[in-house]
Structure 1
Amino acid sequence: MGKTGAIRTGTAGWVFEPWRGSFYPDGLVQKKELAYASSRLGSIEINATFRANQKPESFAKWAGEARDGFVFSIKGPQLVTHIKRLKNCEIELANFFASGPLALGAKLGPFVWQLPPNVSYDRDVLASFLALLPKTTSEYVALAGKSDARLKSAPYLDVAGVSVIRHAIELRNASFDNPEVAALLAEHNVARVIADTAENPSRELTADFAYCRLQGPAHGDGQGYQTGDIADWAKTVKGWADGGKDVFAYFVHEDKLHAPDNAIALRQAAGITLAGD
């Protein structure tokens, strides 16, 4: 019997004022919020990296605050996805990868690349970008080693604790709904982000792991994720994990206030308990 995959549920970010007194206990100091969040969640998506490269010290600090067994996913920079639009971006990727994500060590999870809705499918552009993405620590260090003077800190190339390099990509233009795209992603073992929206209800897997940014639910009644939706997703993610795939599921819908509760409910429905329960 093969290995069962790990299921990690979480949120996009952990600093959200309305969570104070709802998700976060009254009186919890802000500098302890990440430690608390990691006691209830399996993963958090770091979004600050989308706006600008962070520093190795920041990644190391976050890793130090989160519990053992917790992992972060990291959103790729808008400079690559929205400005360069995946074209001619090797040095931009090098600077990003050299900026410090490796300082997360064993808590480094997948990188996620979110395209704007107005970027449409171009086979050559997508294939070239996927080929650039490092899939091993040696490929990562080789690409990060090409960083240039725009990187504000010394390149961070220490791979201690890092074993797997993974990537997911969120394709938000309908032109990507093409079997050729799924084949390209599978060739590079890059996960297509599962959005769970009325426009993008597909739950197709293209890699050896699943990456969900749950923005729905797909029935789109505006009520957010209810008990039945959570039960449905628990069945789905357990099926993937039983098939040997690691699962990352983040609640990033407009009902952000309830995202932590949704993530905890899905984790518990999937049969996973944490010390914080």
Structure 2
Amino acid sequence: MPTRLLSSSPVLVGCAGWSLPREQWPAFPLEGTHLQRYSARFPAVEINSSFYRPHRPATYAKWADSVPTGFRFSVKMPKQITHERRLHDCEGQVDEFLGQCSQLREKLGCLLIQLPPSLTFDNTQAEDFFKALRDRYQGHAVLEPRHPSWLAPQALALLEKERIASVAADPSPVPGGDQPAGWAGVRYYRLHGSPRIYYSAYEDAWLQRLTVLLKAAPDTPTWCIFDNTASGAATPDALRLLELLGDLNSHRWPVRP
């Protein structure tokens, strides 16, 4: 199977999961697993299933071996850590999670920590959690807070200290949550679909404005993940964004006859 040319853009565009809607199949190679076909066009993916259930280390290793060299995975932290234990006394669960997803090796590009809306910022609890995480993992990590207290100055100062970026979400449940914040060493846009979350496709004019934002910091590693997967809108939206960024101009797959 042919391989995708590595992106010339610093933006890692992808979807939340690599399921390919049938109507989009002509845009991808005909052969291979869904992940192999997906990775022929996209440089990154966000693994959401890890939030709900653990995956064996061998599964992560298999995924890593099936994608091109420059491909990167973002992995969502389990809800047992974020929603059940609520970042408290969860070092054992963090060890277990990292022991699994670390089998992605150099293709582990980022950890996504999504918090429940009811979890307010507590400096001591947050500092203990991030310190425990950083003792074990030094790579990129981003936080998707859903309570406004996590965007207060004290919380943002802690994120900066621990090198944790705050996700720019659309739509955001908190004021200011649609803009990158926290540590500026990585940016992570997470697009859920608007006005109908998880379903709505983005208009082309909106994607064009997004393209300008994504190109504004060319030296900063930037992720852009489409999570509007419920109606299959994520895949065409992400393909269109890659086109706007210029990644598809030099290499296109032949469409199915």
For the superposition of Structure 1 and Structure 2, which TM-score range results when normalised by the shorter chain? 0.7 to 0.9
| Contact 1:35–1:66 (Cα < 8 Å) also in 2 | yes
| Contact 1:195–1:216 (Cα < 8 Å) also in 2 | no
Quick one: which of 164, 179, 183 aligns to 2:157? 183
2:42 paired residue number:
41
Cα displacement (A) at 1:271: 2.0
Cα displacement (A) at 1:49: 1.2
1:155 paired residue number:
none
| Contact 1:80–1:92 (Cα < 8 Å) also in 2 | yes
Cα displacement (A) at 1:120: 1.5
Q: In the superposition, relative to structure 1, how do residues 49 and 31 fare at CA in structure 2: closer, same or farther (>3 Å)?
A: farther
Counterpart amino acid of residue 225 in structure 2: Y
Task: Between 67-76 and 26-35, report the one with greater CA deviation.
Answer: 26-35
Q: In the superposition, relative to structure 1, how do residues 126 and 30 fare at CA in structure 2: closer, same or farther (>3 Å)?
A: farther
Map residues 252-263 of structure 1 onto 2, 5 A cutoff.
252-253=227-228, 256-263=231-238
Quick one: which of 185, 192, 207 aligns to 2:166? 192
Q: TM-score if structure 1 supplies the norm length?
A: 0.78
Cα displacement (A) at 1:206: 2.2
Name the % identity.
27
2:76 paired residue number:
75
2:29 pairs with 1:55? no
Map residues 1-277 of structure 1 onto 2, 5 A cutoff.
6-15=10-19, 19=21, 21-25=22-26, 32-99=33-100, 101-134=101-134, 139-140=136-137, 165-197=139-171, 199-200=173-174, 201-207=177-183, 208-217=185-194, 224-240=201-217, 242=218, 244-253=219-228, 256-273=231-248, 275-277=251-253
Distance 1:31 1:63 in 2: 14
Partner SS state of residue 45, structure 1? strand
Counterpart amino acid of residue 205 in structure 1: A
Task: Between 50-59 and 191-200, report the one with greater CA deviation.
Answer: 191-200
Q: TM-score if structure 2 supplies the norm length?
A: 0.84
Distance 2:156 2:125 in 1: 15
1:144 paired residue number:
none
Distance 2:57 2:128 in 1: 28
| Contact 1:10–1:250 (Cα < 8 Å) also in 2 | yes
Q: In the superposition, relative to structure 1, how do residues 275 and 64 fare at CA in structure 2: closer, same or farther (>3 Å)?
A: farther
| Contact 1:8–1:267 (Cα < 8 Å) also in 2 | no
1:145 paired residue number:
none
Q: In the superposition, relative to structure 1, how do residues 105 and 27 fare at CA in structure 2: closer, same or farther (>3 Å)?
A: closer
Q: In the superposition, relative to structure 1, how do residues 235 and 246 fare at CA in structure 2: closer, same or farther (>3 Å)?
A: same
Task: Between 26-35 and 45-54, report the one with greater CA deviation.
Answer: 26-35
Cα displacement (A) at 1:27: 11
Distance 2:63 2:17 in 1: 12
**How well do the aligned residues superpose, as a CA RMSD in angstroms?**
2.7
Distance 1:183 1:33 in 2: 41
| Contact 1:39–1:275 (Cα < 8 Å) also in 2 | no
Cα displacement (A) at 1:190: 0.5
Cα displacement (A) at 1:245: 0.6
C-alpha offsets along residues 47-90 of structure 1, whole Å, 9 cap, x if unaligned? 12112221121011111221221111001011100110000111
Distance 1:79 1:131 in 2: 18
Structure having greater relative contact order (Cα 8 Å, sep ≥ 6): 1
Q: Unaligned 5+ residue runs, structure 1?
A: 141-163
Counterpart amino acid of residue 95 in structure 1: E
Cα displacement (A) at 1:177: 2.9
Cα displacement (A) at 1:216: 4.0
Distance 1:166 1:5 in 2: 18
Q: In the superposition, relative to structure 1, how do residues 219 and 251 fare at CA in structure 2: closer, same or farther (>3 Å)?
A: same
Aligned residues: 241
Distance 2:105 2:181 in 1: 26
